Structures are given as structure tokens and as C-alpha cells.
Structure 1
Amino acid sequence: MTFNKGADISGDRARRGGGRSRGRTGAAVGGGIGGLGLVVVLLLQLFTGQNVDLSGLTGQEQYSYEPEGGDSVEECTTSEQANTDIECRMDATGLSLDAYWGEVLPAQAGVEYVPPPFSLFTGQVSTACGAATSAVGPFYCPGDQTVYVDTSFFDELTSKFGANGGPLAELYVIAHEFGHHIQNQLGTMNAIDRAGTGPTSDAVRLELQADCYAGMWVRGAVDTTDANGVSYLLAPTKAEIEDALSAAAAVGDDHIQETFQGEVTPHTWTHGSSEQRQRWFLTGYDQNSVASCDTFAVSGGAL
């Protein structure tokens, strides 16, 4: 998607860096999209069927978390920067997501939207879910309700996982992680069994719902506006939607398993197949409602 000429993105949304781990308070949401930056991490998830606990991967003890502000991405002010600079694009995407969910969540779910902290990091970061490196990929930590992204992941999305690339593929990833925050606000995460695996497990349903929420935002993003009433984004083109669908397919459990282990083992799935991820993204895009994204109400055969 292209940011609209003249849109003001000076909201200073994303920040560089994270916090200090002093004691682990929870596990990250399987990375959502994350858990994809390193083949070893992927195979741990796929063979064990479990969402990876970040602190265990990085050899950290159980520490608590003390948030730190980090440096703001204050140099990002114009849509032209968002269209050419990855950090500015992340910052502007956060502003659009806030504007969208700030209207949709109260209207459709009766819940006031609380924007999640949005951290851009390089190399490694400390979180309430433990210490993480860029190998984990983008993820959402319920413990500090923060979205974490090392933007180098987007290159791996194309080079290692075969996605088309393009700005909307990147924005889909961020919208998916913000989708996990919506689930956290709605109480979905605490109401399900995230330890199960398989194509119809709660873990897969959680990820597909986040894909659906991402599709909702992509449909409604053109109507999100800055303080002057200028739309942040132009409507997506057909080619850009294809880029987002390509990214969704690239992070499907079946595609990842076939690519890195040579066979598909559905009983270990934690994120859903390529077909499921694409279909639920399109469900959100086409129907544009929180109710339509209730993956937990769908029978196994229709999921």
C-alpha cells in the first residue's frame, strides 16, 4: 500500500529499543508471524508443536521486566518518508492501525482501544516474555502488551520463505501482530488453550483470527486519517493484495514444514496452513467485522 501524499505521520508512534528483563512474566504469542526468522526456531515450534518461550531460546533465567522508553522515530513526518524508509513506514502503519482500531473496537466490540507500545529493535531486545533476538521475527508479548519488530525480518520473508515482498506484505505482518493485541484486549488469549496443536487447535485459531483482523485493517486503512483529515493510505491495488496473500502463504505451517523438513506434519501445526491463512485474511478484508473473524465459532472442517 502507498501512503497518501500530504499525510502527516509525525505522531511519533514507534520507538527503538525495548526494556530490561529482570524476571520473565509470560511467553510471547508464538511470534504470531514471528518465530520465523531462524530455521532452528521454526523447527522447534513445528516438531514440538509448542509456541516457543523466548527466554528458553536465548538462555535467559527468569527475570522480571522493567520497561524503557527507547528512542522515538521522531524524524518521520511525511508520507514520502513512509514510502521510502522502513522505520518511517512502521511508524506510519502504527498510526493508521491506532486510528482504525480506535473506531472499530468500541463500535463493534464495545471495548475501548488501548494502543500497544510498538518497539523496533536491532539484534536483540529484552521483553516481559524474556530476551529475544532478531531470529525470532516479529512478535507480540502479552506481558508488556508490546509489538516487537526487527525490520530485517522482511528481507528474510522473501529470501527464505519465498514471499513476493512489497510494502503491503510488510504492513500485513504488523497488522497481524496488532491483531494479537486486539485479542488480548478482548480477553481471547486468556480464554483458550494455547498449548494444543493441529489444524483445528486453539493456537491455530488464534493465529487465523489475527490474520482476519489484519485483513479488516487493510480494507479499512484508506479511511484512517491524520489530524488534518488526510487519509494515511491509498486503497490497495490488486497486485498489493496479492503481495499480502503471498506473505500469508509463506508463513503457513505446511509451506514452512515442506520447505525446511521435507514433509508436512499437520498434528504439530500452531499457526495454520497457507490456505487457511490466506482465506481468513480475505474473510477480514471482505467482511470487515470483528464478528466475522470469530475463528473459535467455526467447526473444525470449515476452519
Structure 2
Amino acid sequence: MTFNDNANLGGGGGDRVRKRGRGVAIGGGIGGVGLIAVFLISQLFGVDLSGLVGGGTGGGGEVAGESLENCQTGADANASAECRVKGAAASLDDYWEDEVPALGGQYAPPQEVTLFTDATQTGCGSATSATGPFYCPSDEHIYVDVSFFDQLRSQFGSSGGSLAQMYVIAHEWGHHVQNLLGDLDRYSDGQTGPESNQVRIELQADCYAGAWVAAASKTKDEQGTTLLKQPTDAQIADALSAAAAVGDDRIQEKVQGQVTPHTFTHGTSEQRQSWFTNGYRGGAEACDTFSTRSL
């Protein structure tokens, strides 16, 4: 999906994107091999990562977040992954400001979208680039190591284009919306499997991402300029490739050579694509994964 070159990325959600300097080194807890396993088996888009990555930190301080002052226009977003995250945040903020009240909630944006390198401290514990992008409900931050976008293509077979990248941000923003509406609490039952609440939460976040994509070309900056152009069929296929790349069945086949449905936490590739499409065609109101009997 392409930004209008003259769109202003400042204001609203765009100003909540911050970049942290080189992160602290992780010590204790899961070692390097374990972190790779977390990265693969958690399907990249987890909700609360507390307990997954070991406590304790090593040397190398973490620089406080700084705004992306070089990301000013839609042209910048078209040229840079970091600026693209800022532009997506501005659009998502504008979209959900109207949609959350329509769903019966009160909207407030995530506290911050944090771009980090290597490792960082979060309200859900320590995290590294191996963890993948995630939303932490404890501090209402979205955390992304932008190098993940390259891994999405090189390791998971996604096309990894601009809309695939923004799908990642939209999915995590969807978890924030679930937090606002109280649906994220359903995650705490700890159940896994094809019809579990964990799967329903993740598929709903995919659906919310699709709903935003459908409406993104109507979102505007604070000056009233449209932020994004209408997505092309090729760009929609780009987002769907990212959704399929992180399906439970595809990840399990890649990691363990077999599929074990009773351990599903995010849904199959087909389900993730299907629910993204539901949102794209029907809007956020079509994303009630908890009332449907069969996913």
C-alpha cells in the first residue's frame, strides 16, 4: 500500500512511534537456541511475553526513545520501513478513533510504538529481535525490531512488501483494540487448540487488520490530507502472504516436521487469510471470532 507523497506523518499516532538505541543484552533465562524457538513457535505475534524471555540484563545501556524526526511525509514512508511504521500508526490511529466507539468502547491510542534494535525492556519483561513483533498490555506498547520485516521474507516465505509490513503493525494495533474492549482478557485461560480463545484472539486481530486496510485510503493526517492510496490487488496479496506465512500449521511443519492442532495458538494459514479477508470485506463489525461456533 502506498502513501500519498505529500501526506504529513506528524501528529496523532505518528508521534507515538519512538526509536530506541541499541538494547540491553539479555542474560539468564532462555539461551540463544531457545530464543529462536520462541520466535518460531510463538508465531511472531504474541500478546503477553512475560516469562518467555529470561529476566536479568547484561551490559550495554539502552538509549531513551527518540522521535523519528526524519519521517515527515508520505514520500518518506514509501522509502523507509521505519517511516512506514510511523505512517501506518498515523492511519491506524485515525481509523480506530471512530471504530472503537462504534464497537462499544472508548478509544485511546497505544502509549507508544517502540522500534528497537537487538533487545529491549518492556512492561512484559525482556524481549529481543528473536521474539518478533508483539503488543504488551501491561504498558500498552507495540514493540517491533524492524529487521523482522526482512526475516518475514527470508525465513518465512512472505513477499514482505509494504502492505505485509503494515499488516504486522495493524495486527498488533488490533491487540490494543482488544485490550480496550476487554477481549484480550480471554487470553488468560491458557487453553490451546483450533477453537481456543488464544486462536480466536489472534484471528480477530487479523480481521481487524483487514478492516483497517479496507478503510486506510480514507484516513487523513491532521491537515485533512489523505494518508494512503487504495490498495491494489497485488498489495492485498502481499498482506495475505504475510498472514499465511505465520499460520500455526506452516510454522509447525517448518519447525517440527508435523502439525499438532491441539497446540494451535494463532490459527492455520488458511484461517488467518480468511479472517483478514472477513475484515477487509465486512469491516470491524465482522470480526467477532468469539460468537462463531466454528472458525
In the other structure, the counterpart of 1:178 is: 173
Q: What is the CA–CA distance in structure 2 between the aligned matches of 1:44 and 1:164, rounded to whole Å?
A: 20
Specify every segment of 5 or more residues in structure 2 that has no aligned partner in the other structure, as ranges: 25-33, 58-62
Give the C-alpha shift of residue 61 in structure 1. Answer: 5.5
The alpha carbon displacement at 1:259 in A equals 1.4
Partners of 2:189 and 2:173 lie apart in 1 by 18
Which residue does 2:122 correspond to in 1?
127
| 1:145 Cα offset (Å) | 0.8
8 Å CA contact 1:55–1:132 kept in 2: the answer is no
Deviation per CA, 1:228-258: give whole Å up to 9, x if none.
Answer: 2111000000000000000000000000111
The CA distance in 2 between the partners of 1:120 and 1:259, in whole Å, is: 28
Is this contact kept in 2: 1:198–1:267, CA < 8 A?
yes
- Partner Cα separation in structure 2 for residue 44 and residue 249 of structure 1: 15
Verify the 8 A CA contact 1:16 1:71 in the aligned structure 2: yes
Check the 8 A contact 2:244/2:269 in 1, yes or no. yes
CA contact (8 A) 1:206 1:295 kept: yes
Q: Secondary structure at the match of 2:94?
A: helix
Q: Deviations over 1:261-288 (max 9, x none)?
A: 1111111110100000000000000001
* Structure 1 CA distance for aligned equivalents of residues 276 and 149 of structure 2: 19
Runs ≥4 in structure 1, deviation > 2 angstroms? 10-13, 42-46, 51-59, 191-194
Q: Given that residues 76 and 84 in structure 2 are in contact (C-alpha distance below 8 angstroms), is that contact kept between their aligned partners in structure 1?
A: yes
User: Within 2, Cα distance between the matches of 1:140 and 1:191?
Assistant: 15
Counterpart of 2:38? 41
Matches of 1:44 and 1:208, distance apart in 2: 17
Distance 1:261 1:17 in 2: 34
**Count of aligned pairs:** 275
Alignment of 1:176-215 (within 5 A): 176-215=171-210
C-alpha RMSD over aligned residues: 2.4
Compared CA separation, residues 84 and 234, structure 1 to 2 (3 A): same
C-alpha distance in 2 between matches for 1:249 and 1:278: 6
The match for 1:257 among 239, 252, 256 is 252
Gaps of 5+ in 1: 22-36, 63-67
Counterpart CA distance in 2 for 1:44 and 1:86 is 25
1:218 positional shift: 0.2
CA distance in 2, matches of 1:221, 1:15: 22
- Separation in 1, partners of 2:40, 2:85: 28
The Cα shift of 1:41 comes to 1.1
Aligned pair in 2 of structure 1 residues 191, 257: CA closer, same or farther (>3 Å)? closer
Q: Which structure 2 residues correspond to residues 23-38 of structure 1 after superposition, within 5 A?
A: none
Corresponding residue of 1:85: 80
| Aligned-residue offset at 1:227 | 1.8
In the alignment, which residue of structure 2 is the partner of 1:3?
3
> Where in structure 2 are the equivalents of 1:221-240 lying within 5 Å?
221-240=216-235
Q: Does structure 1 residue 103 correspond to structure 2 residue 94?
A: no
Q: Classify 1:189/1:237 alpha carbon distance in 2 versus 1 (closer, same or farther; 3 Å).
A: same
Q: Distance in 2 between matches of 1:70 and 1:283?
A: 36
8 Å Cα contact 2:132/2:144 also seen in 1: yes
Aligned partner letter, 1:154: F
Q: Deviations over 1:194-233 (max 9, x none)?
A: 4111110000000000000000000010110012211100
Q: Normalised by the size of structure 1, how large is the TM-score?
A: 0.85
Q: Which residue in the other structure is 1:16 paired with?
A: 19
Aligned residues of 1:138 and 1:150 also touching (Cα < 8 A): yes
Q: Secondary structure at the match of 2:203?
A: helix
Provide the residue aligned with 2:262 in structure 1: 267
Distance 2:133 2:187 in 1: 22
Query: In structure 2, what is the equivalent of residue 148 of structure 1?
Result: 143
* Structure 1 position 40, deviation (Å): 1.3
- 2:31 counterpart residue number: none
User: Counterpart of 2:234 in structure 1: which amino acid?
Assistant: A
TM-score by length of 2: 0.87
Task: Indicate if the aligned counterparts of 2:192 and 2:263 stay in contact, CA closer than 8 A.
Answer: yes
Correspondent of 1:114 among 98, 108, 118 = 108
Q: Take 1:17 and 1:59, find their aligned partners in 2: how far apart are those partners?
A: 20
